[in-house]
Amino acid sequence: MTRFDGYNTDGFFDEMFSPDGSARPAVQMLVERIESFPEGELIRRQIAAEYALLRMGITFNVYADEQGIEKIFPFDLIPRIIDANEWEWIERGLKQRIHALNLFIDDVYHDRKIIKDGVVPADIVLSSERYLQQCIGLHPPRGIWCHITGTDLVRNSDGQIYVLEDNLGCPSGVSYVMENRQLMKRTFPQLFGMLQIQPVEDYPSRLLNMLQYLVTDRVMAPKVAVLTPGIYNSAYFEHSFLAQQMGVELVEGRDLVVMDGFVHMRTTKGFEQVDVLYRRINDDFLDPTVFKQESLLGVPGLMDVYKSGRIALVNAPGTCVADDKVVCSYVPQIIKYYLGEEIIVPNVPTYMCWEDTDRKYVLEHLDELVVKEANGSGGYGMLIGPHATTAEREEFAQRIKHNPRNYIAQPTLSISRVPVLIENHFEGRHVDFRPFILYGEDIYVLPGGLTRVALKKGSLVVNSSQGGGSKDTWVLSGHS
Amino acid sequence: MLSRVAESIYWMSRYIERAENVARFVDVNLHLILDLPGGVQMQWDPLVSTTGDDEVFAERYGHASREAVIRFLTFDTENPNSIISCFRAARENARSIRENISSEMWVQLNDAYLMVTNTAEEWAMEEPHQFFTDIKVASHLFAGQTDNIMSHSEAWHFCQLGRLIERADKTSRIVDVKYFILLPSIWDVNTPFDDIQWGALLHSASAFEMYRRTYGLISPNRVVAFLLLDREFPRSVLYCLSKAEESLHAISGTPLETFSNPAEQGLGQLRSEFAYAQVQQILASGLHEFLDAFQTKLNLVGDDIRKTFFAPRPVNGESADTQSQQIIG
């Protein structure tokens, strides 16, 4: 051992090294390869990879900046490796989860059996700000609501993997999965020959196939488009990347118009009908005549066309009710209810502030817990108890008492780490993992995903808006 | 294709062509100065006139010194027609239609943009020839990729249309501005200086060598004829108009020699005017007047293209400025 000399797991679960300092079996070849590089070679490859990202314009926009300044999404070239056995378990767990969630969403907008049977309290579902009255009784094409999901997983210090949240809205990051992989093939070509790394490159084909499948029962050659809020959106790169890779149009709200009961694009030769919209704008902004009136991003009349079944929207409006963190905490019961199975990949244990006993516990243990808003995201609207000041904790205590339904709390997980290259040595940084799941003709889990890494020393926040970066994730095939 | 996308492709292409033209004539003038006989003062203000920004320049800089003009035309982010502004605008347009152009085209344009924004102004002033060559090469690489990677379908034709209309405009402006400065004074005729100046005009359109092969010795009439009326030189105005017309008809599907919209009608009339013109007649009736009228008509064609393809439902009261992009939304 040379390159990793002095690398310390600091008592955390390390994805690459066992507590005794030896490399885990799946990463041994990677470690050997890194050891074989001459001094300075790794950092040279890291710089080359970053420069390639800049040239390709693989950047995200920082919201606060009015010029829409672009930054590279920081990238670390040491991959996170998942062995075949563990992946097989994750894949089964995610398929089970998405299958049940889809049944749940459909149920709560129709018969509400799960509520009538007393498994999930009516209050919890119906009071969610993401439960859309406008979607009651709707039948989305092929009965699918959650076509695309990017479930966040974390591993705790005991090695157990938990689901943190599902991201049923417009999960971002799959473009980075594919671009990171391209960079890694340039950076470590030999390793791809030695390890059986499962490919991720067919994602756009599978996505397009799923999108077309939704309407092929009524349209011969469906017209698919990706709906973006525009070039100043932080995920614009991904929107254009996916449209380009699928060979479909990337449209903005102003390119679309509802006419004669269909959605049309404004083209140089008049109007052209659209059959499937992979929309990357939130429910609230889809149709100003139904949701937020001031929305300029959406298409007036879109929901009427959707209700009449003349356009497929992906994901279906209303899906996000299952993203509500309070609703989400019922997923074990939801899986049991619809599938009669035990949950495979567990939820992070969750305290619900609307329940008196839980709330009492939460308020007494704010210094140990992570508190989240039911519908917060992006690392905003949360309290990390152990890292917070007394004043911040007091503020959250007031917020919880004022609106208990809006908060949940979870134990502060000691999430796992991986080595990242810092100048010429390695340091451990915390990571999460976002695999992507497509629900079309069947449920498909992309073998890979976005490993987000908190690049700030000691930080647990992996969001790109708050100093997070990414790593490629290698899912190995063949059991070891 | 989407109207918004067509508009962005058209302007992406126009802005890159504009940057290349600015780079070329600044570079040529920097070379020309080296050959000026002692005591002759180089005129820098005509350079500003070729982009049509005299007033803005006068307001911001006053006297047209070498440094002021180069700065205004290259690195001035407040001048919408400076090289840096052109690349920024081209890249913003490309960004909004990235799914329609190839990754290679995007990377090339992004590279060019990063090159311009990362170039230190001091270095560019010291090594202007290298800098302007880099700009021209970047534009040529982009055009080459557009031709060789992109399907020659509607999007490509909008690229062509933007590039050729921009080029026709710039060639006509270079001729217009330079012709009057270069009208021989009694002392200069048949001196080496006379020849060098006319040569510089040809160089400004990268036309020197092709001119030589066509006409041999340099004469003012033939230089004007070559830059305006040549049927084979790709930067002559007639050539640009003919090819732009072909693309316009490929987009609409209307046969040549007929028209289905005002843009085709206007461009067809303009092309015919050049196709059947003679240089002696143009000069006799006044070159400047001829070129001035041409630029007005070309602007009208640009505006008709916008109305026909980009804004199918025109909003009342919109201005008809075709020299820069209409910002929508």
**Backbone angle region of A304, left / alpha / beta, with phi > 0 → left and psi within -120 to 50 → alpha:** alpha
Q: How far is CA A30 from CA A80, A85, B219, in A?
A: 10, 18, 71
Band (pLDDT 50/70/90 cuts) for residue B319 is: very low
Mean pLDDT of chain B: 87
Quick one: pLDDT at residue B188?
A: 59
The pair phi, psi for residue A328, each rounded to 5°, is: -55, -35
Q: Cβ separation of A248 and B309 shorter than 8 Å?
A: no
ipTM computed for the complex:
0.80
**Domain ranges within chain B, ordered by starting residue:** 1-150, 151-315
Q: Which of B110, B154, B328 sits opposite A268 (nearest CB)?
A: B154
Chain A residues contacting B via beta carbons under 8 Å: 54-57, 226, 230-231, 236, 240-241, 243-244, 248-252, 254-255, 265-268, 270, 296
Burial track B266-286 (b if 16+ CB lie within 10 A, e otherwise): bbbebbeebeebebeebeeee
Residue B94 has pLDDT above 80, yes or no: yes
Q: Read off the amino acid at residue A14.
A: D
How many angstroms separate the CA atoms of B145 and B96, rounded?
19
Structure tokens of A43?
Answer: 């950092």
**Sheet of A351-352, strand order:** A351-352, A407-411, A369-373, A382-384
pLDDT tens per residue, range A142-178: 999 999 999 999 999 989 999 999 999 889 999 999 9
> For residue B312, which residues of chain A lie inside 8 Å, CB to CB?
266, 270
Q: Give the tokens for residue B41.
A: 């003062």
pLDDT of residue B321: 43
Report CA torsion sign: B221, B224, B229, B235: positive
DSSP per position, B94-159: HHTTTTTS-HHHHHHHHHHHHHHHHS-HHHHHHSHHHHHHHHHHHHHHHHHHHHHHS-SSHHHHHH
pLDDT attached to residue B315: 28
pLDDT of residue B327: 47
pTM, full prediction: 0.88
Ranges of each domain in chain A: 351-411
Mean pLDDT of B65-69: 88
> pLDDT under 70 in chain A at which residues?
1-2, 60-70, 377-380, 479-480
CB-CB contact of B172 with B237 (8 Å): yes
**Percent of chain B, pLDDT > 70?**
88
* pLDDT confidence tier of residue B316, bands split at 50, 70 and 90: very low
DSSP structure class, residue B93: H
For residue A244, give Cα distances in angstroms to A17, A227, B102, B144, B171: 39, 13, 8, 21, 35
User: Alpha-carbon distance A455 to A184, whole Å?
Assistant: 19
Average pLDDT over residues B125-151: 92
Which chain B residue lies closest to A232 (C-alpha atoms)? B96
Residue B312: the pLDDT is: 56
Q: What is the DSSP string of B17-83?
A: HHHHHHHHHHHHHHHHHHTPPTTPPPP-HHHHHTTT-HHHHHHHH-S--HHHHHHHHHT-TTSTTSH
C-alpha pair distances (Å), A399 with each of A351, A372, A412, A476, B140: 16, 11, 19, 45, 60
**Token pair listed for B12:** 């992406």
Task: Fill in the DSSP letter of residue A199.
Answer: P
Q: Taking 70 as the threshold, does the pLDDT of residue B192 lie above it?
A: no
Partner-chain contact A254 B329, CB within 8 Å: yes
**Per-residue pLDDT at B322:** 44
Q: How confident is the model at residue B328 (pLDDT cuts 50, 70, 90)?
A: very low
Q: Is A71 helix (H, G, I), strand (E, B) or coil?
A: strand
Chain A residues in contact with B1 by the CB 8 A cut-off are: 249, 267-268
Closest-CA residue to A347 (of A362, A326, A363)? A326
How high is the pLDDT of residue A461?
80
Q: Above 80 in pLDDT, residue B184?
A: no
Interface list for B 80-99 with A (CB within 8 A) = 92, 95-99
Q: How confident is the model at residue B117 (pLDDT cuts 50, 70, 90)?
A: confident
The pLDDT of residue B264 is above 80: yes
**Sole residue written with tokens 């400047």:** B288
Rounded to 5 degrees, what are φ and ψ at A312? Answer: -100, 135
Residue of chain B whose Cα is closest to the Cα of A264:
B2
Q: Select the residue from A71, A232, A263, A268 to test the B interface by mutation, using most B Cβ atoms within 10 A.
A: A268
pLDDT of residue A290: 87
Q: Report CB contact under 8 Å: A241, B6.
A: no
Please judge whether B4 and A244 are an interchain contact, meaning their C-beta atoms are less than 8 angstroms apart. no
Q: How confident is the model at residue B272 (pLDDT cuts 50, 70, 90)?
A: very high
Q: Give the closest residue to A168 by CA, choosing from A54, A58, A320, A60.
A: A320
CA-based radius of gyration for chain A: 23
Kindly list the residues from chain B whose CB atom is less than 8 angstroms away from the CB atom of residue A250: 97-99
Mean pLDDT confidence for B5-14: 96
Distance (Å, rounded) from C-alpha B94 to C-alpha B11? 9
Place of tokens 């980075």: A176
On whether any CB of chain A is under 8 Å from the CB of B267, the answer is: no
CA–CA min distance A266, chain B (Å): 6
Q: What is the pLDDT of residue A70?
A: 67
Which pLDDT band holds residue B31 (cuts at 50, 70, 90)?
confident
In eight-state DSSP terms, residue B308 is: I
Contact between B131 and B73 (Cβ < 8 Å)? no
**Burial class (CB within 10 angstroms; exposed 0-12, middle 13-18, buried 19+) of A179:** buried
Q: Residue A389 belongs to what H/E stretch? A: none
Name the strand (E) or helix (H) holding A164.
strand A161-165
Q: What residues of A are in contact with residue B98 (Cβ under 8 Å)?
A: 57, 240-241, 244, 250
CA distance B14 to B21: 11
**Is A137 buried (19+), middle (13-18) or exposed (0-12) by CB count in 10 A?**
exposed
What gap in Å lies between CA B315 and CA B329, rounded to an integer?
A: 13
Tell me which residue of B89, B86, B50 sits closest to B69, measured CA to CA: B50
- Residues A44, A49, A52, A54, CA torsion sign: negative
- Mean pLDDT of the B264-281 span: 96
Can you tell me whether residue A99 is helix, strand or coil?
helix
Q: Please give the span between the terminal C-alpha atoms of chain B, in angstroms, as a whole number.
A: 19
Q: Which amino acid is at B158?
A: F
Residue type, A411: P
Class of domain A351-411: alpha beta
Q: Which residues of B touch A255 (CB under 8 A)?
A: 2-4
State the amino acid at position A130 in one-letter form.
R
C-alpha span between A71 and A57 (Å, rounded): 9
Location of structure tokens 């001031």 = A294
Nearest to A57 among B6, B106, B329 (CB): B106
Instruction: Determine how many CB atoms are found less than 10 A away from the CB of residue B216.
Output: 9
Preferred mutation among B7, B12, B93, B98 to probe A, highest tally of A CBs within 10 A: B98
